[in-house]
Chains A and B, each alone.
Chain A
Amino acid sequence: MKTVKVYGPGCKRCDATEAMVKAAAAKIGIEVAVEKITDAKSIAMAGVMSTPGISVDGKLVHAGGLPDATRLEGWLRA
């Protein structure tokens, strides 16, 4: 079970990113717990400077804009 955090104050792109994470996990068949972090302080403390950002098991893998679907699967598999 992987813990994925999606960082973003709640804009449209942040919701889209969350949906993409869930879709990618379902596609490659792994279980993920997706958590949305919307508080600006926590976003900043995680090192995300432009939203939406994604971390997998505590490691920040992406920041700024929608992720690429192929690379997203790669991060989830790793």
Chain B
Amino acid sequence: MHADVEMSRQPRPDWIWHIAVIGFVAAWYVIYRQLIPFSEWVTALFPVDRHSHTGDAIAFFFYDVPKVMMLLTLIVFAMGVVRSWFSPEKTRALLSGKREGVGNVLSASLGVVTPFCSCSAVPLFIGFVSAGVPLGVTFSFLIAAPMVNEVALVLLFGLVGWQVAATYLAFGLGIAIVAGFIIGKLRLEGWLQDWVRDIHSGADAPVGVDDERLTMAGRYRLGIAAVREIFGKVWIWIILGIGMGALIHGYVPEDLMVRIMGADAWWSVPVAVAMGIPMYTNAAGVIPIVEALLGKGAALGTVLAFMMSVIALSLPEMVILKQVLTLRLIAVFIGVVAGGILAVGFLFNLIF
């Protein structure tokens, strides 16, 4: 991080950055095409039969790890650049005074592209509410931001297929919009903590910093910073998750999985959601396991419900939100979001 800051004293002109980015994408594409031969080559180095369980697991691991790392690099970089146009301050300005309905849709979409880390959830919440963003619209944002997670999107896209990734995106946004709308309709402003309600009623709404214009070079640099930050957080989870996935892929018998997590076991969806809430791991660790479970005959709705529950309903986040919301309001929040996830789970098991 410090290196970035040092560099910024003599900013390179934008055109050098454009060429570097184009060169990077081209090199990325060439390498990406070589991943299957690469994994076969590595697997052949091991003294095991390629068609044994162990051989399968090894090939799976050495194909998926580089593939996911490469996809993540590209997408997180792109997201980092895109996010440089959407500061929380701008988002707040866009949302303030928006009516419910349209506001919920806009808010959920902005939740996906606005940069903010979970430790900023409380200040962000207050920033929104105090600027006159309706409570339900604020919730749509707060639900969409973790629910539609770019790491999850990349992993689903790379490991399970674009159809599932697209459905996850659509349903994640859907839940955020509907849940925010319901919370708005319930008129729960009274269930905020007292001091938040006082700001909400208006007197001294805090003002933020005016955001400044960035050069393209500055935006690219933000993209690189995003890649570094995400990688620092998730690389170990990816390796562990794909390792677990490889074991499941190689060794777990199919009929067992079908019985426990198959579409016929109706109770599997609520159980998956309930199990997901206390689990605090991230998308990077969960999705490779999801992939392997799907391959073994687990139902798509059940595993998606599990994944969404792990990502969107985490206990640590509830503890953070406790500072601004009363327990009652947190309970409603969990109830509405869990209900949405259940619906998605059942719906998917019905359709696919």
Q: Is the CB of B123 within 8 A of A50?
A: yes
A8 to chain B, nearest CB (A): 7
Which of the residues A41, A45, A51, A69 comes within 8 Å of B119, measured between beta carbons? A51
CA A18 – CA B123 in complex, angstroms? 19
A residues 1-38 near B (Cβ < 8 Å) are: 7-9, 11, 13, 16, 20
Q: B interface, how many residues as a size bin? A: 20 to 34
A residues 36-67 near B (Cβ < 8 Å) are: 40-41, 43-51, 53, 60-67
B280 to chain A, nearest CB (A): 16
Most central of B8, B89, B127, B209 by chain A CB within 10 Å: B209
Q: Beyond A47-B127, A49-B89, is A62–B209 a contact (Cβ under 8 Å)? A: yes
Q: Does B116 contact A (CB under 8 A)?
A: yes
Which of the residues B1, B195, B320 comes within 8 Å of A66, measured between beta carbons? B1
CA A50 – CA B63 in complex, angstroms? 37
Q: Is the CB of B122 within 8 A of A69?
A: no
Contact with A along B191-206 (1 / 0, CB 8 A): 0000100010000001
Which of the residues A9, A11, A60, A69 comes within 8 Å of B208, measured between beta carbons? A60
Q: Which B residue's beta carbon lies closest to that of A61?
A: B209
Which of the residues B6, B115, B320, B324 comes within 8 Å of A50, measured between beta carbons? B115
Q: Is the CB of A49 within 8 A of B8?
A: no
Residues of B with C-beta under 8 A to A51:
117, 119-120, 123
Q: Does B5 contact A (CB under 8 A)?
A: yes
Q: Is the CB of B119 within 8 A of A64?
A: no
Q: Is the CB of B119 within 8 A of A49?
A: no
Residues of B with C-beta under 8 A to A46:
206
Q: A interface, how many residues as a size bin? A: 20 to 34
CA A43 – CA B123 in complex, angstroms? 6
Which of the residues B8, B88, B199 comes within 8 Å of A64, measured between beta carbons? B88
Q: Is the CB of A60 within 8 A of B209?
A: yes
Which of the residues A8, A47, A50, A70 comes within 8 Å of B206, measured between beta carbons? A47
CA A61 – CA B208 in complex, angstroms? 9
Residues of A with C-beta under 8 A to B4:
66
Q: Is the CB of A49 within 8 A of B9?
A: no
Most central of A9, A20, A44, A61 by chain B CB within 10 Å: A44
Contact with A along B115-136 (1 / 0, CB 8 A): 1110110111111100000000
CA A45 – CA B123 in complex, angstroms? 8
Q: Beyond A41-B195, A44-B126, A61-B209, is A50–B120 a contact (Cβ under 8 Å)? A: yes
Q: Does B54 contact A (CB under 8 A)?
A: no
A52 to chain B, nearest CB (A): 9
Residues of A with C-beta under 8 A to B89:
49, 63
Q: Does B87 contact A (CB under 8 A)?
A: yes
CA A46 – CA B208 in complex, angstroms? 8
The 5 A-B residue pairs whose C-beta atoms are closest, nearest first, are A47-B206, A44-B126, A49-B127, A40-B122, A44-B123
Contacts A49-B128, A69-B6 given; 4 further ones with Cβ under 8 A? A7-B123, A40-B324, A49-B116, A68-B8
